[in-house]
Amino acid sequence: MTQEKAPVLTAVEILKLLPHRFPFLLVDRVDELYKPESGARVGRKIRAIKNVTINEPFFPGHFPHRPVMPGVLQIEAMAQAAAISCVELDGPRMDVAIAAVDGARFRRPVVPGDTLEITAEVLKDRNMMMVIRCEARVRGQVVCEAEMIAKMFPLATEQ
């Protein structure tokens, strides 16, 4: 049995980076976070995990007879992982918003018991706008993919 590596970011650390909270925080941990040595955002990559359990608040309504994770929440999980890859962990607090979703494809249903392995890579950086390629897999099979345009902006300071 192989020993699993410790996560790069735990759920508690993710809470410090993302503004999302229950029931909308859709990243449980980050296993890999790559940043080019140049410091550029282009080429940044992330591998994050979302464990999908029967206790998710959306399952009773989507659908009672056959629970399926809504596609929009799969997109949101990928967007949250992408946002983590874009922000500087020790830099100024930034917020990341989805400006566009292109080429979204849903390959198979995501059901309770699945573990989404989410990957994202920054393809283009236009100062505060970035193009990010995202993919989610379950047991190695692609279940969802999309290209997103993300807008970054400084997080408003609390008064």
* H/E element, 153: strand 141-154
Burial of 105 (0-12, 13-18, 19+ CB in 10 A): exposed
The CA-to-CA distance between both ends of the chain, in Å, stands at 51
Return the active site residues: 62
Residue 49: which H helix or E strand, with range?
A: strand 45-51
Give dist(CA 28, CA 12) in Å, integer.
9
Distance (Å, rounded) from C-alpha 31 to C-alpha 7?
5
Residues 6+ away with beta carbon under 8 Å from 42: 36, 122, 123, 124, 125
